[in-house]
Structure 1
């Protein structure tokens, strides 16, 4: 006999499905914040993100206002001291965080999207499509990245940080594309891809809904390290003078500190803050990456579960 479905039973099934859905959605966040390294990295990154968003509120002065006594060491009125022209370094650091974070995140996400398109399409389609896309990928791989950025920066003459970020994204996608291509080739022969093809799903739909979700750990890791690479590249270009020196970023702060011999004059408060800022953002991205594989890799989940069970058994 078939079980009778009453309104109460139907309502119970709906509640159960909603509970399971919320549990499935919240599980990645639970795993992410249960990892001490990733939680620490997220807090550090969040601090700099808030600093970037609310820079006009947090910064006490305009970053370009040269109205204070020059070469002041850190004190109550100027937490990071002043430059040789009387600008408040703490205000420059706050506004520099905004520029650096926008350029880094924007370039990291854009380069990952470009690499994902090239890699997934090449790995899934194969044949002539793979040969053409792999040719362009290999071409960008063999090009010297820093030298290419310097040449383009010199040609543009005092480009803005955002133009530099766009250049970094357009020239730094190839390594991610190779990884995405190889991973797509391993997934293309799986049973669930064959089932999707038999169901009539289009190639674009398979790539978006079947292949990309199974590469989320690789995609997230690529975004983080591409963001870090973009931040370092932008700071390097600005430090070498291939950026508008009137813009405010951590790279231009290092440029002015170097140009005015801050190290020789003992003005450590000028170049240490932007250096620490770049290092801390990089550290936060690396720490957050520890949890990405744990969330998406079943083997790492089972390993952690076995370790926890072993610790509980040892205690008892």
Structure 2
């Protein structure tokens, strides 16, 4: 455990990304405590500007934007984590199965994966969401999760095929270890960086895609999420009447969580990739040497 925590604690990107993620999770869990308003009830005048009573103003329907933002964090994070988990589980199962067993199994899974990769994802999601009609957040999460696993499966398969030829796997086969143990004990720990990269990337993709689908009017208009807030701001012409806060609040929130998760993604790549770790050490040494050179120059000039 200590070995895993030390690289994370020593990586600035990981710390910033984790701080952002923990903040959002805390807001989602403490939503009933952070605001006393109901997110779908009228609590003020239409398009009321930010004030002490309403920190982020109100919508055209007189709903509190801050309250909707807090409760929307819970909904959007739930969708992102659920769909990200579905994408990761399907991708890992299919990728490891295809890469480890090979042969006919690999060809069959690879064929299905290639078909899924060829079909454009966003148009497919738009068609399915339009067919379902006013899809709830749970349905959107399931749609995204069940249609976005192909890339993760392809990457996991490639890494599994590489590990399959390593000496420790071949040695385990020679001593007669069962296949399930070789997959769970030998392969999976070496795939953690790929799995983590796939999961975090899937969460980012899901949050943005969910907001896109709801912004286009394909979600449930009564749901409280960041995408629904943007959709309601669009239909009420918020920017035209000067109610910029209706767009600014959810858009900024999506951007910040995207940056935070991306920094965790970059940190996972740096921690798992020795070349990137070495490159970071070299850059730190160069910066330190430049500081020393500048200090020497200052001392020489003063002398």
Q: Normalised by the size of structure 1, how large is the TM-score?
A: 0.88
Deviations 1:257-282 (A, max 9, x none): 00111111111000111011111111
Q: Cα RMSD over matched residues?
A: 1.7
Deviations 1:167-217 (A, max 9, x none): 100000001111111111111111011011122222222222212211211
1:195 to 157, 165, 171: 171
Contact between 2:37 and 2:43, CA under 8 Å: does it hold in 1?
Answer: no
Matching of residue 42 in structure 1 with residue 26 in structure 2:
no
Matching of residue 81 in structure 1 with residue 57 in structure 2:
yes
| Structure 2 residue ranges without an equivalent (≥5) | 294-303
Matching of residue 63 in structure 1 with residue 56 in structure 2:
no
**Could you tell which deviates more after superposition, 41-50 or 244-253?**
41-50
Aligned residue number for residue 96 of structure 1: 72
2:116 to 130, 140, 143: 140
Contact between 1:122 and 1:181, CA under 8 Å: does it hold in 2?
Answer: yes
1:123 to 99, 105, 127: 99
Contact between 1:28 and 1:295, CA under 8 Å: does it hold in 2?
Answer: no
Matching of residue 289 in structure 1 with residue 270 in structure 2:
no
C-alpha displacement of 1:310: 6.4
Aligned residue number for residue 7 of structure 1: none
Cα distance in structure 1, aligned partners of 2:9 and 2:76:
26
C-alpha displacement of 1:117: 0.8
Deviations 1:138-168 (A, max 9, x none): 1111112111111111121112111100110
Aligned residues: 292
C-alpha displacement of 1:291: 2.1
Secondary structure of 2:52's partner? coil
Matching of residue 224 in structure 1 with residue 200 in structure 2:
yes
1:175 to 131, 138, 151: 151
Matching of residue 208 in structure 1 with residue 184 in structure 2:
yes
Cα distance in structure 1, aligned partners of 2:139 and 2:190:
33
Secondary structure of 2:135's partner? coil
| Structure 1 residue ranges without an equivalent (≥5) | 1-24
Give the 4+ runs in structure 1 shifted more than 4 A.
302-316
Cα distance in structure 2, aligned partners of 1:32 and 1:216:
14
C-alpha displacement of 1:59: 2.0
